[in-house]
Copies of this chain bind each other. A is one copy, B any other.
Amino acid sequence: MFGVTILGNNSALPVYERHPTAQIVTLNDQLLLIDCGEGTQIQLSRYRVRRSKINHILISHLHGDHYFGLIGLITSFGLMNREADLHLHAPEPLKQILDLQFAAADTRLPFTLHFHPLKEAGVIIDEDKFSVECFNVFHRIQCWGFVIREKKKPRRIDKEKIQLYNIPTTFYENLKDGEDYITSAGEIITNENVTKANTPARSYAFCSDTIYNEILADSVREANLLYHETTYLRDLEDRAASRFHCTTDQAANIALLANVKKMIIGHFSSKYEKLDDFLSETKEVFANTELAVEGVTFIV
């Protein structure tokens, strides 16, 4: 399972039962939280997310609709006697903000909170089964996008073909890693002969608040699933630019240029009650688009 569950899809003001940005990325039994607007801990309960499984939190930037729920979530982790380490990847000023609030409340967390400041584009998490890279997006203040990639998957043993050779089962793991087998007689049995390629490793790209910039297509290239903000409809391109945001058309252009497989859109301006036009406008340019509806899980 590699999926993305939307907890909030609105921009700055919470309205129409839409909430500020927060998403859960599920990678088998690991959860990552991307952004954490006010009320995220309530959204986690509403959608029955197992919050104890969250080991990494990524914060794109320090506008409130992307992080005001973080201090509450971390405090609640403490009240719920969490013991596992928690890794927070965020712009540097957040550390002092959190520390001041812990000090004011005389809070002592029962777990270790590791703060990893986001400083330059590149790999920020490198685990056995996945990695996370951050990249620069272009907003009014320092802001980051993220790509979560499955690690390259092992090759699969071809059960029919392997029976033709006398390869010890202890070598099977080496075969999955792509090695050839050399018999005691020196004969080479090529890897391709006894294994098959697995499904390709997938990636999810999260493109947070940003002005339109085609450079982003490089950062999210070939993603299986792209989240891109669409704060405004296409007729408000000037307003979008002046506020360092994007329109439907602009997000769709990035999706096209980057050759992603599918896109979800969100961060809708509070001025729009209905979202239908966001979907129709975007699909005119990039057909495989869906609205990032809260509570829905999109498979990567």
Within 8 A of B (CB), among A69-89: 69, 71-72, 75-76, 79-80
Copies in the complex: 2
Report B-chain residues with C-beta under 8 Å of the C-beta of A62: 101, 104-105
Taking a contact as CB atoms under 8 Å apart, the answer to whether B105 and A38 are in contact is no
Interface presence of A299 (CB below 8 A) = no
**Quick one: which of A62, A103, A104 has the most chain B CB within 10 A?**
A104
- Shortest distance from the beta carbon of A39 to any chain B beta carbon, whole Å: 5
Interface presence of A42 (CB below 8 A) = yes
Tell whether A64 pairs with B72 under 8 Å between CB atoms, given A38-B39, A79-B12, A103-B93.
yes
**Quick one: which of A91, A100, A106 has the most chain B CB within 10 A?**
A100
Interface presence of A154 (CB below 8 A) = no
Report B-chain residues with C-beta under 8 Å of the C-beta of A121: none
Residue on B with the closest CB to A20?
B72
- Shortest distance from the beta carbon of A50 to any chain B beta carbon, whole Å: 16
Report B-chain residues with C-beta under 8 Å of the C-beta of A15: 45
Interface presence of A141 (CB below 8 A) = yes
Residue on B with the closest CB to A61?
B105
Taking a contact as CB atoms under 8 Å apart, the answer to whether A106 and B141 are in contact is yes
Report B-chain residues with C-beta under 8 Å of the C-beta of A75: 12, 64, 68
- Shortest distance from the beta carbon of A40 to any chain B beta carbon, whole Å: 9
- Shortest distance from the beta carbon of A297 to any chain B beta carbon, whole Å: 23
Report B-chain residues with C-beta under 8 Å of the C-beta of A109: none
Interface presence of A275 (CB below 8 A) = no
How far is B96's CA from A220's CA once the two chains are assembled, in angstroms? Answer: 38
Interface presence of A3 (CB below 8 A) = no
Tell whether A101 pairs with B38 under 8 Å between CB atoms, given A12-B76, A15-B45.
no
Within 8 A of B (CB), among A199-233: none
Taking a contact as CB atoms under 8 Å apart, the answer to whether A105 and B64 are in contact is yes
Within 8 A of B (CB), among A21-43: 38-39, 41-42
**Quick one: which of A41, A93, A105 has the most chain B CB within 10 A?**
A105
Interface presence of A140 (CB below 8 A) = yes
Show 22 A/B contacts (Cβ-Cβ < 8 Å), sorted by A: A12-B75, A12-B76, A12-B79, A13-B79, A14-B42, A14-B45, A15-B45, A38-B38, A38-B42, A38-B68, A38-B72, A39-B42, A62-B105, A64-B71, A64-B72, A64-B101, A68-B71, A68-B75, A94-B104, A96-B100, A97-B104, A106-B140
